[in-house]
């Protein structure tokens, strides 16, 4: 059991580092301020686009999928929680991380809060739960 905790912990640390590296490389927006910027525009940076087909959505999907499976397995196997509690905790923590990331993005001059990113997170969580429940 001690080996499982070390393996899951190492995988979690590696995945967080990889996801952080991916997010830091994806930031290509230039922070510009324009005095004619409309207050009705939902984004601080007019150059910011939020399409469903951007690499950012795939990163959100994969990050949520990986973290959901890892948290689920950590709570269920080494910590001996039942399946229901493991599922709720894994979903709660992963969704909390996704919402926190969007709040952080909204505070940056080159980013914005994206509901589409949260939708990709939710899809990753769903697939992660399906994969984690396979025998």
What does pLDDT average to over the chain?
Answer: 75
pLDDT for the residue 22: 54
d(CA 22, CA 16): 10
Helix axes 55-76, 115-132, angle to 10 degrees: 40
Is a pLDDT exceeding 80 seen at residue 53? no
Band the pLDDT of 16: cuts 50, 70, 90. low
Band the pLDDT of 67: cuts 50, 70, 90. very high
pLDDT for the residue 72: 93
Most trustworthy range by pLDDT among 19-23, 36-40, 112-116: 112-116
Task: Please state the rounded mean pLDDT for residues 68-97.
Answer: 89
Is a pLDDT exceeding 50 seen at residue 34? no
Task: Please state the rounded mean pLDDT for residues 102-115.
Answer: 82
d(CA 66, CA 62): 6
Is a pLDDT exceeding 70 seen at residue 31? no
């Amino acid at each position: 059991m001690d080996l499982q905790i070390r393996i899951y912990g190492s995988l979690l640390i590696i995945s967080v580092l990889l996801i952080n590296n991916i997010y830091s490389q994806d930031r290509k927006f230039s922070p510009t301020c324009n005095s004619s910027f409309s207050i009705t525009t939902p984004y601080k940076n007019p150059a910011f686009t939020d399409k469903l087909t951007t690499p950012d959505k795939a990163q959100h999907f994969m990050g949520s999928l990986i973290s959901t499976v890892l948290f689920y397995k950590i709570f269920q196997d080494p910590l001996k929680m039942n399946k229901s509690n493991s599922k709720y905790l894994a979903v709660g923590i992963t969704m909390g991380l996704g919402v926190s990331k969007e709040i952080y993005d909204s505070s940056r001059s080159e980013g914005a809060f994206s509901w589409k990113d949260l939708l990709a997170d939710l899809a990753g969580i769903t697939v992660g739960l399906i994969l984690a429940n396979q025998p």
